[in-house]
Structure 1
Amino acid sequence: MAKIFDTLQSDGRFSRLIDIIQTIGEEKTLQGEGPMTFFAPVDSAWDAIPEPNRAMILHDKQMLSHLIDFFTIGGHKCTLDALLAKNVVETVEGALIAVRKTDKGTQVDEAVVLEGNMEADNGIIHVLDSVPFVTLAQAFEAYAAE
């Protein structure tokens, strides 16, 4: 089995996310010991962010660093069932995100989980259909506060 970063890299749905991770030098974190839980938006999730917002986000390393921290839960390998039982979880950045069942399926904020519980050596990955805009807004606030 591979680490989270390698798992994302070998799956064809995450080229934009891989570019972001490499741009900010977070490969080592996602190849670290873990355990961790990582929310991974697919390429179409990034494409759905309206221009010029997407360009602003994708060209700002500091903003991207905050965003990756909002996608990560450190110290825990949380399955979807465990996340649903908690209902609200804290990310590495310190933000709280809601995980709940809806008529659309399991949602992380307003993003829908396309595939959950992808195993990696150092954690678990949950694939999202969109970049959660609550997360995006919180990342921007954290960035703006610096």
Structure 2
Amino acid sequence: MHFSSLFKGALVSTLVLSPMLGLMPAQAEMNKPNKSSTETTKIKTSQQAQTSILDIAKSNENFSTLVAAFQAAGLEEVLASNGQFTVFAPTNEAFAKLPQGQLEELLKPENKAQLVSLLTYHAVPSAIASTAIQPGTITTVEGRSLQLSIADSKLKVNDATVLATDIQASNGVIHVVDSVIIPMAQ
């Protein structure tokens, strides 16, 4: 069975990207980017191997919108599971860039399928460190491709810029992005 089918099956059995993935000052050290590098974030905690993507997002106020979206889409259980994922996590500021009213519409129960599609478009079904990311396309859990590129020495995911990388979780890795990534037409 295809991984995205398994993932979607888990979503159906469990029910939920307000910007959920933020960095806790006590847990993370952010190296400010110079003009030729991308900002790097590493979580330094003895609990990191036991902390899921969901737990990290919940512990950081910069990801409160993402957490709310995960909850509305019923994705909490999946993001706390033992699978390995890469999540390109929009911050609260990224969600604020959406057209007025779009987030509120997505969070309505009748639009759950759209929300699940959008959120799973931000996830890849394997853990990929920033050092292993190469320009090109990568297939998301949702099933469509993301375009990875480097522009002005910064990693881009479609039109979003990666702000922080390599936040390690027990079930994968988080890369923080400055925009909600809207699925490209294919």
TM-score > 0.5 by shorter chain: yes
Q: CA deviation at 1:25?
A: 1.5
Q: CA deviation at 1:55?
A: 2.8
Identity %: 30
Unaligned runs of 5+ in 2: 1-47
Unaligned runs of 5+ in 1: 142-146
- From 143, 147, 153, the equivalent of 1:94 is 143
Q: CA deviation at 1:84?
A: 2.0
Greater share of helix:
1
CA distance 1:102–1:50, change in 2 (3 Å) = same
Contact 2:72/2:107 (CA < 8 Å) preserved in 1?
Answer: no
2:177 alignment partner in structure 1: 128
- Written as runs of structure 1 = structure 2, the 5 A alignment for 1:3-18 is 3-18=52-67
Counterparts of 2:73 and 2:164 in 1: how far apart (Å)? Answer: 25
Runs of 4+ in 1 over 4 A off after TM superposition: none
2:132 alignment partner in structure 1: 82
How many residue pairs align between the two structures?
A: 135
TM-score by length of 1: 0.85
1:40-88 deviation per Cα after TM superposition (whole angstroms, max 9, x unaligned): 10001111111133332232211111111111111x1101222225x21
2:78 is aligned with 1:61: no
CA distance 1:104–1:55, change in 2 (3 Å) = farther
2:169 is aligned with 1:110: no
Letter in 2 for 1:26: L
2:93 is aligned with 1:50: no
Counterparts of 1:4 and 1:83 in 2: how far apart (Å)? Answer: 19
Contact 2:70/2:76 (CA < 8 Å) preserved in 1?
Answer: yes
2:76 alignment partner in structure 1: 27
Contact 2:122/2:181 (CA < 8 Å) preserved in 1?
Answer: no
Contact 1:66/1:93 (CA < 8 Å) preserved in 2?
Answer: yes
